Amino acid sequence: MSRSVRRRFGALVLVAILACGVTASAQGVKEFDPRLYAPSPPPGSSYVRVVNAGTAAANVAIGSAAPLTLDSSHRIATAYRVVPGRASVAITVDGKESRIAVPPDKFLTVVYRPGGAKLTTITDDPGEDNPLLAQLRFYNLVAGCPGSLALEKGPSIFSAVAPNEEKSRSINPVVATLTTMCGSRAGTSLKLPLLKARDRYSIFLVGHSSKPVAVGNADSTEPFKGG
C-alpha cells in the first residue's frame, strides 16, 4: 500500500470514528436530556395534605391519589400533594367525598374529624427557608383550650395557640424532648427525632381537652409528575 493510499485510508478511518462519536453523543443527549430536570408545578399551584384528628383510623385520599390509612398511633398525616390553585379538590374519607376550595400558592392542612363539620382547612405558615435550620410546626387541634409547646424543663416554644391554628418557627437541628399543655392541663411529652437542616416536622395536639395527646409527623411533599 502506497503512502498516499495509507494517508487516504487513515483519514477515512478518522472521519468514521468522529462520526460515530458525534452520533453516540447525540443519542446520549436524546436519551438523558428529558430526565435532567423534574417537572415543575404550574404557576399558582398549591400543596394540600390531610390530618386525621380523630381517634379511629380512616382511609383518606386527595384527588385521584390512592387512599392511605391515617391514625394517631401510626401515621397521622398524608404528604403534601400538588393541586391546582383557584379550584377545588376532592378529599375522600372512608369512601365519602367532599370538596374544598384551594387558593393559589398556599400550603394547606385539611383536618378531618369524625362527625360535626368534619373537614377544617388551615393555611400553613410557609416559615423561613434557612439552609442551616429545621422548621417546626405546631397545630392545636383540640377544641376548647389554647395549646402550648415547650422544651422539657426549658422555655416555651409556642404558647396560647388557639384551636384550629398553626404556628411555626425555625429551630436548630437538635434532639429534644418537648412537653405540651392544653390550657392548664398537661398533655403528653414527645421526643423530637434527629432533624437535619431544612427538615420540616409537625406536632399535632389532638384528643380531648381533658387528655390532650401530642403526635409528631415528618413533613414531606409528593414529587410533581406533570399533567
pLDDT at 224: 86
CATH for the 128-219 domain, from 3.30.720.110, 3.90.1170.50, 2.40.50.140, 2.60.40.2890: 2.60.40.2890
Residue with cell 470514528: 17
Q: Does 89 or 227 have the greater pLDDT score? A: 89
pLDDT at 174: 84
How do residues 142-189 score in pLDDT, each as one tens digit?
A: 999 999 999 999 999 999 999 999 999 999 988 899 999 999 999 999
Q: Where in the chain is the domain with CATH 2.60.40.2890?
A: 128-219
pLDDT at 225: 81
Q: What CATH fold (topology level) applies to the domain 39-124?
A: Immunoglobulin-like (2.60.40)
pLDDT at 27: 43
Average pLDDT value for residue range 115-142: 91
Q: Does 160 or 130 have the greater pLDDT score? A: 160
Confidence of residue 36 (pLDDT cuts 50, 70, 90): low
How do residues 183-223 score in pLDDT, each as one tens digit?
A: 999 999 999 999 999 999 999 999 999 999 999 999 999 98
pLDDT at 12: 38
Confidence of residue 121 (pLDDT cuts 50, 70, 90): very high
pLDDT at 23: 40
